[in-house]
Structure 1
Amino acid sequence: MTHTFFVRTSTQKVVQEAYWSQPVSLAIPFKTTLEDLFDEPNKQAFNKAFTQALWVKQQVFCSHVCIIEDAIELCFFVLSLEQNVWVLAIDYFDSLPLEIQEMHKQVLFHMIEQFAILFSKNQLQNSQVVYNHFEQIQKLNNQLVNTQRDLQRANRKLEVVNQELNNRLVKDPLTNLVSRYQYRSEMEQLIRKEPEALGLFAFIDIDAFKQINDTYGHAIGDQYLVEFSKRIQQMQKAYSCIAMRIAGDEFGLYVHGLEQIDDVFIQAFYKRFIQEILYEPLDTEVGKLQISCSIGIAIYNQDTSNLFELIDFADWAMYEAKRAGRQQYKRFERQSFQTRFN
């Protein structure tokens, strides 16, 4: 049940005219003192807003106060003009979403202000005129509230869709590795934490993957990639690294925060790669399928301090491994890279 009333009082809080009150039990009789509606603590809160309105004319002040009737909290809007004070009380204000309460409050402020101005110009003949005028504005305001709630529901649905889309952008939907759209950002975050540290980037290409797709179909090809991705994530047991899917059959591993990277470290990294990923064929619905990879390795803060160059250098080294016979790794060599077009 809605609890609301709208009255005009004297500067002493004595009701001069009651435009309406709902429910009937909340009737505000003529000559009633508004203070009678409150117990002592709530009376002080109401008086504060009322006094502020007397000090600053034609400005609406707002206060949340419990009335004795049913112990209901109402939101009071108080405005004074000349020797009159207008008080609007409503109980639904707090039920509105927080983001639209302020907008709703401004609408009510404007309505009360307009009533006060019309009254001072003797343009309001009776309470029914006031009520009808206020009711029409309130209907429009309620439509606004309903529209805002519809927008809220739509926004919540949009947030869910955006979250799902964001998850798809961050994670590759097939392999659940960091996606092609996100891996550079993930690498940048690691680098920002330790910009002077070394990092190893391994660009990994599955050898002869096209033959698997052509022979067994894309469903088995996808299953093959999923099983491969599960294994590549095992490298995270040995190294704090990012595992990513760069393209169809191209993957990457990035390890950052290292103090030293030499040939011994790279050989140990590749040995662990064999143990975790290449140790046996991959299980699929058509049986076990062989797995072989060509890997290119480039070092951040040795070969380059540019992330895009780092990826290009590792990509180049990976193709060097393929040209050398596949199923091996190659360390980036600048001299070979610089003479590639000669």
Structure 2
Amino acid sequence: MFLLLALIASALIGFTVGLLVRQRSIRRAASLRVLEMTRLLISDPLTGLLNRDGLFLEADAAPLDPPTVMILMLLDIDNFKAVNDTFGHQAGDELLVTVARRIKDVVAGYDGTAARLSGDEYAALVPAADRDPSQIAALLVSRVAEPVYVRGADGITTQITPTVSVGVTVAQPDEPFEAVAMRHADAAMYHAKHRGGGNTHRLYQPGMTMPTVTGRRGPRPRDHRTGQVKP
């Protein structure tokens, strides 16, 4: 009788342990699925960088105690359309991935984060600390402007030298990131591209403005998102 009870108890213990292990495995698998889905939602599928939503989450995650001042840089590849038109979209994608990797490599040295916002536009977010925003932006401009080899639609590999225009601003923790920092960096980037000739950077200065949408080459996708274009 004692032996029978011991066998029953052992079986119950084994069943309970097995059930707990399975439940833990199920919970772990569910958590991993949630993490993977979240990663996909905030990542750019082509370059692997954060996307626009991921950048905003990163900005929101900046410590508030003590407040962390961030350097925001928006980067736009100069004459990217010409690459697509001349060599094809595959070559354009290769260039986008290469530029993304170079931006990521630079900002990683400053404990920063890189993102691809849309098309050929990127962002970099770096803790300000005692760093010189202009120096970091100049390094980004220089690093991107190294030769790249792309394969055209005809299969021929061609060397090109990409350049970027960079707009820089200092994002204060008590200011709305999208409404203030993004707009300031965007205005500075416009001045770098259209008044600086590209392949350069500009720091935001009070009074810098953007042209109206009708004065540009049509609206960008994010113009619709920020309400500059009526549906």
**Inter-CA distance 299–284: structure 2 relative to 1 (3 Å threshold):** same
Which residues of structure 1 form unaligned runs of 5+? 1-36, 39-67, 76-88, 102-151
Given candidates 199, 209, 221, the residue that maps to 2:70 is 199
Answer whether contact 1:202 1:298 (CA < 8 A) is retained. Answer: yes
CA spacing shift, 1:283–1:99, aligned 2, 3 Å: same
Show the counterpart of 1:127. none
Could you tell me which amino acid in structure 2 is paired with residue 281 of structure 1?
A: P
Equivalent residue number for residue 282 of structure 1: 148
Rounded to whole Å, the distance in 1 between the matches of 2:149 and 2:22 is 56
- CA pair 225-93 structure 1, distance change in 2 beyond 3 A: same
TM-score by length of 2: 0.73
1:235 deviates by 0.8
265, 270, 292: which one aligns with 2:137: 270
Change (3 A) 1:172 1:180: same
Amino acid at match of 1:166: T
Task: Give the superposition deviation at 1:156.
Answer: 8.2
Distance 1:99 1:239, change over 3 A: closer
Post-superposition offset of 1:244: 1.0
Hey, what's the Cα distance between the residues in 1 that align with 2:118 and 2:186?
Answer: 12
**Whole-angstrom CA distance in 1 between matches of 2:134 and 2:55:** 24
- Give the whole-Å Cα distance in 2 for the aligned partners of 1:71 and 1:193: 58
1:329 pairs with 197, 201, 222, which one?
201
**The residue matched to 1:97 in structure 2 has which SS?**
helix
Q: Answer whether contact 2:137 2:168 (CA < 8 A) is retained.
A: no
Q: Does 1:71 align with 2:6?
A: yes
Could you tell me which residue of structure 2 aligns to residue 183 of structure 1?
55
Unaligned runs of at least 5 residues, structure 2: 152-156, 213-231
Are the structure 2 counterparts of residues 160 and 293 from structure 1 closer, same or farther at C-alpha, using a change threshold of 3 Å?
Answer: same
Post-superposition offset of 1:206: 0.6
Q: Return the offset for 1:208.
A: 1.0
Select the structure of larger CA radius of gyration: 1
**Matching of residues 86-165 of structure 1 within 5 Å:** 94=16, 97-98=19-20, 162-165=34-37
Work out the percentage of aligned pairs sharing the same amino acid. Answer: 25
Going from structure 1 to structure 2, the CA distance change for 1:239 and 1:156 (only over 3 Å counts) comes to closer
* Aligned counterparts of 2:142 and 2:192: Cα–Cα separation in 1: 19
Mapped pair 1:233 → 2:139: no
User: Number of residue pairs matched?
Assistant: 204
- How far, CA to CA, are the matches of 1:323 and 1:162 in structure 2? 43
User: What is the distance in 1 between the residues matched to 2:133 and 2:12?
Assistant: 73
Question: In terms of mean alpha carbon deviation, does 265-274 or 313-322 score higher?
Answer: 265-274
- Report the AA paired with residue 215 of structure 1: T
Per the alignment, residue 227 of structure 2 pairs with none
Greater percentage in strand: 1
Give the TM-score normalised by structure 1: 0.51
Q: Which has the higher contact order (CA 8 A, sep 6+)?
A: 2
Q: In structure 2, what residue type is equivalent to 1:283?
A: Y
Question: 1:223-276: CA deviations, max 9, x gaps?
Answer: 1111111111221353111111111111011111414x6xxx233223322343
Deviations 1:280-314 (Å, cap 9, x if unpaired)?
Answer: 22122222122111111111129x72211211211
Aligned to 2:118: 247
